[in-house]
Chain A
Amino acid sequence: MQLSVQGIVRRFGPVAALGGVDLDVAEGEFLTILGPSGSGKTTLLKTIAGFEIPDEGTVLVGGEDVTLAPPRRRDVGMVFQNYALFPHMTVAQNIAFPLEMRRRPREEITRRVEEALRLVELQAFGQRLPRQLSGGQQQRVALARAVVFGPRLLLLDEPFGALDRKLRESLQLEVRRLQRNLRLTTIFITHDQEEALIMSDRIAVMDKGRIEQVGFPGDLYARPATRFVADFLGESNLLEGTAKGGGAELPGFGRVPLPSTQPDGPVTLLLRPEALRLGEEVEALPCRARGTVIDTVFLGLSAKLRLRLEGGPVVLARIPLRPSAPPPPAEGDSVTVGFSAEDVHVVPRT
């Protein structure tokens, strides 16, 4: 493991910002820590970087215990939320800084700074000051500065927060390409689930100072381990029902078959909006319900409908749109919705 975080606890007064965090990241892996603000993800990143000393637990980088090592001894590159470029130094001087601190010879510094500038496609900007660059360019300088000294780990703290959507998307892909080319072990922090899904090899979802689940993006989406993950990642219908003898009674839908291993008692079922079908195909599905459209949002490739089912719950459905197809049902229309049993995921109760 390139990074191994074991049993990290960090308290601020009575509040535990990190309540026992374990995390392993393999060499060359891109892992995203995803969580709402206040979930402790920044504190975790700072602990890895060495800006926070944990109350309990260990941090291993490349197998070496660095829990108490100062930041400068960790060989960890970090890109800050606001980039933290040195405004009084040129772009080239900024990038040269970590090399100078490592007392590399002059020629090596010049060569590696040039390489780094080429890597982020800013060859022509070496002599500019940071404030003479656009936000996206500054971001790339920060990235070049963080990787130029060949760190053992790259940490990215919500680096795209201040950028507009288009720039964000192109930088996301650029960072990903760079990370793959350099085979850099990378920890990326974001509260943006879409960004997490685009960029990551694996995602760790955090809430209230704990890691709720770590897994591949597809797995987290299809099989969330907790209610929080199911709710936080993507859109979801969480339906409460009662399991009995290999099935569950769901208000509105009636009986839904469940895996036979499911014990009797109350269950939470996750049904993604795209798993709900409308129209003719519904007739063939085992689980159906009738409902009324509350509102319809047109999203280009698809439409999002909120429906009130007969028997109570409001559910969200997302239906694909084709140019030739009839328009989606509108507000007030009566519809039948259905889903197939394999599209249901039972969210474990904690």
Chain B
Amino acid sequence: METLFLDLGLPHTLSSFLAMTVWAVLLIHFLAIYAGVTSWVERRVAAKMQSRVGPNRVGPQGILQWLADGVKLILKESIDPEGADRFMFYLAPFLMVCGVFATFVVLPWGSFIIPADLNVGILYLISITALVVIGILMAGWASNSKWALLGGMRSAAQIVTYEIPVAMGLLPAIMAAGSLQMGHLMAAQGWAPWEWFAFQNPFAALSFFLFFIGSIAESNRIPFDLPEAESELVAGYFTEYSGFKFAAFSLAEFGNTWVVGAVTAAVFLGGGNLPAFLGESAILSLVVFTAKTLFAVFLLMWIRWTLPRFRIDQMMDFSWKYMLPLAFVAFFGQAIYMMLTYESAMAQQIISHGMFLVFLLVLFKFTGRVMLNVREQLSPVNSPASDLVAPAQPTVETEAQAVTE
């Protein structure tokens, strides 16, 4: 985008400033709209899974529900709890939004569009998300509520714990690409599934799982939603928030799903790479990338509405006792794999194709199970075919009929 302004004959500093401004405005609006629409999508998806209807009143299929919610939240009175640390209480939700929003700097939009392709891209992303935990801690501490305090403390423990497996899970990919830069990470993969990093070798697949699970934990979603555990801590760290500040928390929470999805898509699922015969279309690449991201977001929703929640000690155990050692296995395994197959492109091809076949098999099995569940759920109950036989009754002219006649 900077070149666009340079072509207009503007000086270098001004054009880069303008480019950044345009990006910021675009991305802020994207984040807000995406978070809103996702909140509606999530509610509809959850409703589908739970044999409910979900919000379907505002607009076609209820698609404008998020606007109604947003307007309602902005108009609502913003309540300060008694004894709250007002400054921190006000600052916390916006720190969280900042933490999520700042990651958009390095998030790619397909293979060709990246707001700022920093050379420390992925490292920047891991570190800037730590801002979220400060926001949560501040919210929990400043609310002067015991439930919020517990939520904040849980969150601090959880995010610090899971940041390590997440970073370790990204390491094999960084090793394979030889760069921290988002563009390079994507370019190291191909368009076909067997060229994706997630299926490159068993250790890469393992690191993919570790990264994805850790990301769920970092974005505070079930089974790791302990900081906001509804049935335990009422609403966790945002118990005392209302109005616009509450909306800011939701914005950060749903915005975070995109971050997780985009990183997953870029680093593990081949980014926006297109097959050679399609040429270098930025739009097509954007579409492919968005589709992959949204699929990852859907996975997040699916997991959220299926699993129960961990307990705090089990959550810690899971990370330190299982995920961290496995992350080391993935790390060293990837190193050994790279060393062994360094000179043999053939072996690399065979392993990655094999991995993809294994994945297809698992998918096949899984689909079978899902179909079984669906079939069982459709077994007839309370069907009209077996409706009650009403005993023969003399027809009585109702009052309404009498009036019309």
A and B found bound together: no
